[in-house]
């Protein structure tokens, strides 16, 4: 079997922010990660440990202060093509209807109206939204529906890479489980390379091929998961992995508390 292609690669990457109030904040440091084609990697870690910055580096929205970030073998110098992003806030445009929000990436790529509409409607259908919402405005939808719209917008251009920043946070557990299952379906059929940030251990164990635990901008633990999918959240194997990841997170939270 041919080895899988390296799609996203961080090589000793570091990002330092400087503001008058905080002249030196290393959001990401000495960071190494290789995401192979079709892999689903989840990043877990406490607030402020650098997860969003990591995704923004891969998306070409920030440049590394140190080291290198490569996508498809080339150093990222500006937002690469063929990446779908779901940002932490969802970032739907409030003045645009669902259809216009989902079709945004297609519009930027210059597709004509008919093709935009067809592809946007297909994406809306794929994420489990009813077709009548195409004419709704974001504020007329529930939080769960808005998350689906953001996901539809990200997959609408058929990206080979998905960068997702807590895409299902602050939803009730049932809705969250549904969205996780739907993302899994999409991923199982399209096999994008996914870098997925979450605060939820259970979400990471449900979705990931690999889990990274981050604190202070660094990876402090890594887990490979070879559980069958879809995963049984109540199964012994699932709970065992969940506890292992929790242990790593707690250990490093305690270490973080010791130095702060
Ligand atoms: N544009 C910026 N300018 C200055 N500092 C920044 C900037 N973006 C992030 N930081 C700082 O970098 C650190 C990491 O921030 P980041 O947003 O990556 O954390 P996070 O792990 O995503 O947190 P959360 O889980 O709360 O979303 C924080 O200390 C933050 O204040
Ligand atoms: Mg964040």
Output the CA 43–ligand 2 centroid distance in Å.
11
Which residue ranges have their beta carbon within 6 Å of ligand 1? 17, 19, 25, 27, 45, 47-53, 88
Q: 154 and 136, same structural domain? A: yes
Between CA 49 and CA 192 the distance in angstroms is 26
pLDDT over 60 (residue 259): no
Q: 143 and 19, same structural domain? A: no
Output the CA 118–ligand 2 centroid distance in Å.
33
Looking at 130, 159, 188, the residue that finishes a domain is: 159
Ligand closest in space to the Cα of 27: 1
Looking at residue 254, which CATH number applies to its domain?
3.40.50.300
**What is the model's pLDDT at position 108?**
87
Between CA 248 and CA 213 the distance in angstroms is 8
Q: 63 and 10, same structural domain? A: yes
Output the CA 25–ligand 2 centroid distance in Å.
15
3-state secondary structure of 177: helix
Q: 75 and 168, same structural domain? A: yes
Q: 227 and 143, same structural domain? A: no
Number of domains in the chain: 2
Q: 62 and 134, same structural domain? A: no
Looking at 104, 133, 159, the residue that finishes a domain is: 159
Residue 88 resides in a domain:
no
- Taking the CA atoms of residue 86, residue 68, residue 203 and residue 219 in that order, the dihedral angle to the nearest 10 degrees is -150
Q: 252 and 164, same structural domain? A: yes
Ligand closest in space to the Cα of 44: 1
Containing structural domain, residue 194: 6-82+160-259
What are the tens digits of pLDDT across the range 60-114? 999 999 999 999 999 998 877 789 999 877 789 999 999 999 999 899 888 999 9
- Lowest pLDDT segment from 17-31, 42-56, 79-93, 208-222: 79-93
Protein residue whose Cα sits closest to atom 14 of ligand 1: 50
CA distances from 138 to 85, 145, 159, 173, 237 (A): 18, 9, 23, 21, 39
**What is the model's pLDDT at position 256?**
62
Q: Among all chains, which residue has been given the structure tokens 């999918």?
A: 229
Q: 217 and 171, same structural domain? A: yes
Residue 1 resides in a domain:
no
Q: 133 and 48, same structural domain? A: no
The reply to whether omega before 258 is within 30° of 0 (cis) is no
pLDDT average, residue stretch 15-27:
96
Q: 169 and 152, same structural domain? A: no
Residue 136 resides in a domain:
yes
Looking at 159, 193, 209, the residue that finishes a domain is: 159
pLDDT average, residue stretch 152-169:
94
**What is the model's pLDDT at position 257?**
58
Q: What is the pTM of this model?
A: 0.94
**What is the model's pLDDT at position 112?**
94
Residue 87 resides in a domain:
no
**What is the model's pLDDT at position 77?**
85
Residue 207 resides in a domain:
yes
Between CA 171 and CA 157 the distance in angstroms is 26
Nearest atom, ligand 1, residue 217 CA: 14
């Amino acid at each position: 079997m041919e080895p899988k292609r390296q799609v996203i690669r961080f090589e000793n990457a570091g990002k330092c922010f400087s503001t008058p109030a905080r002249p030196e904040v290393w959001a990401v440091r000495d960071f190494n990660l290789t995401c192979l084609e079709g892999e689903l990697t989840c990043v877990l870690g406490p607030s402020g440990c650098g997860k969003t910055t990591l995704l923004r580096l891969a998306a070409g929205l920030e440049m590394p202060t140190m080291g290198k970030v490569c996508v498809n073998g080339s150093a990222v110098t500006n937002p690469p093509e063929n990446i779908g992003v779901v940002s932490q806030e969802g970032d739907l445009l409030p003045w645009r209807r669902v259809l216009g929000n989902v079709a945004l990436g297609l519009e930027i790529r210059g597709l004509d109206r008919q093709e935009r509409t067809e592809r946007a409607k297909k994406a809306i259908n794929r994420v489990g939204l009813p077709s009548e919402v195409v004419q709704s405005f974001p504020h007329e939808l529930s939080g769960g529906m808005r998350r689906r719209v953001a996901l539809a917008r990200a997959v609408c251009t058929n990206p080979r890479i998905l960068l997702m920043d807590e895409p299902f946070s602050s939803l009730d557990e049932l809705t969250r489980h549904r969205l996780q299952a739907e993302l899994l379906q999409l991923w199982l059929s399209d096999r994008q390379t996914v870098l997925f940030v979450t605060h939820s251990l259970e979400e990471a164990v449900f979705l990931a091929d690999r889990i990274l635990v981050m604190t202070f901008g660094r990876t402090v633990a890594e887990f490979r998961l070879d559980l069958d999918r879809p995963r049984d959240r109540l199964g012994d194997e699932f709970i065992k992995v969940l506890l292992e990841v929790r242990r790593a997170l707690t250990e490093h939270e305690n270490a973080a508390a010791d130095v702060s």
